[in-house]
Structure 1
Amino acid sequence: MLARRSTIALLLGAVIVAGCSEPADDRWYTEEQVQVGEAVFEAECAVCHGEQAQGAENWQQRDDDGYFPPPPLNGTAHAWHHPKDELRTFIRDGFNRMPGFGDRLDDNEIDAAIAWFQSHWSDDVYEAWLDYDERGESGHDAGADTQGDDPGVE
């Protein structure tokens, strides 16, 4: 645990030292954030969302308690229907069965994790997400076709 935290801290330090580097492919994040985000995601998120953010098997089917398993975050599910502030809130505070990570991750690490999984999104998915983000509303607010109340279900 300490080794993972040290690795994340070192990578986060590299982002801070890099300062205002160029965004990755005209996106809001930098390549350095993506690198830090990979370490954060691997340490904190991959156990549920998969090493490549592919989500749990059968993620679209409710479990016995009525919850959806962890969805893909790689652009193939519903994460792109949520503005960045909402994604931050889900990660910091938790949602449904997902625990909050606000006690383990700071805002820069949360943003880095978002940067990493968004780096897997196609340009079309990213552009669609920008519409939600610029309006500050989720796909649920905009009346998107969703299954249930779980973020992560298309």
Structure 2
Amino acid sequence: MKKLGILIATLSLLGCNTSSESEVESAEAGLALTDVTLEGKVGTGRWYTRAQVERGRETFERYCAACHGANAEATPNWRTLDANGNYPPPPLNGTAHAWHHPLAVLSMVIEEGGEPLGGVMPAWGDTLSEAEIVDVIASFQSYWPDEIYQLWLERERASRGLTP
């Protein structure tokens, strides 16, 4: 009888763990920038989950890929001024300067566009929710090599006043 009680208690806990995983996934779907922690998540080892990357890739494909490339690789001559005197969209895959910026700046540029910084990227704040912006950042950061991600993580921690 005692073993049956332990078995029932164990199964109950397993049931709770399964539902809490779905609750985590549901909560993460509406994750605001201020809710982002830097703890490595299971499956990625980074601040974001695979589900965030997948949602972000769908959004990226719809709104960003036309300029930044399907895999965030941008255009071959992104460092050369175009006919209008503007730089083309840079790659976001870790080969340009995006990794130098903390999440708050990346989010701001997506939300407000590039104009406040002298660029021409359109603002997406009226189109994308904060959670969608967080997911888009997760999607392009997923292309970053581990070395670049670790360098970014150090900068992100410093921008938050966290010690390494």
Q: Which has the higher helix share?
A: 2
Q: Which runs of 5+ in 2 are unaligned?
A: 1-23, 32-40
Aligned to 1:132: 155
Q: Which residue of 1 aligns with 2:5?
A: none
Identify which of 102, 123, 126 aligns with 1:103: 126
Contiguous gaps of at least 5 residues in structure 1: 1-13, 138-154
1:61 and 1:15 map into 2 onto residues whose CA distance is: 42
Question: Cα distance, 1:25 vs. partner?
Answer: 2.3
Cα distance change, pair 18–58 in 1 and its aligned pair in 2 (3 A): closer
Deviations 1:28-79 (A, max 9, x none): 1011100100100000000100101101230011123332100100111111
Distance in 1 (CA, whole Å) between partners of 2:112 and 2:42 is 27
List structure 1 segments (4+ residues) > 4 angstroms apart after TM superposition: 17-20
Q: 1:68-79 residue pairs with structure 2 within 5 A?
A: 68-79=87-98
- Which of 85, 95, 103 aligns to 1:66? It is 85
Alpha-carbon contact 2:28-2:52 (below 8 Å) kept: no
Question: Is it true that 1:26 corresponds to 2:35 in the alignment?
Answer: no
Give the superposition deviation at 1:15. Answer: 4.3
CA distance in 2, matches of 1:78, 1:68: 13
C-alpha separation in 2, matches of 1:135 and 1:99: 29
2:107 is the counterpart of 1:88: yes
How many pairs align? 124
Give identity over the alignment, percent: 44
CA root-mean-square deviation: 2.3
Contact 1:37-1:112 within 8 A present in 2 as well = yes
Match for residue 51 of structure 1 among 70, 73, 79: 70
Change (3 A) 1:133 1:16: same
Distance 1:17 1:89, change over 3 A: closer
Gap change, CA 1:59 and 1:18, over 3 Å in 2: closer
TM-score by length of 1: 0.73
**Structure 1 match to 2:54:** 35
Counterparts of 1:84 and 1:106, CA distance in 2:
15
- Is residue 23–residue 29 contact of structure 1 (8 Å, CA) maintained in 2? no
Partner Cα distance (2:94, 2:129) in 1: 24
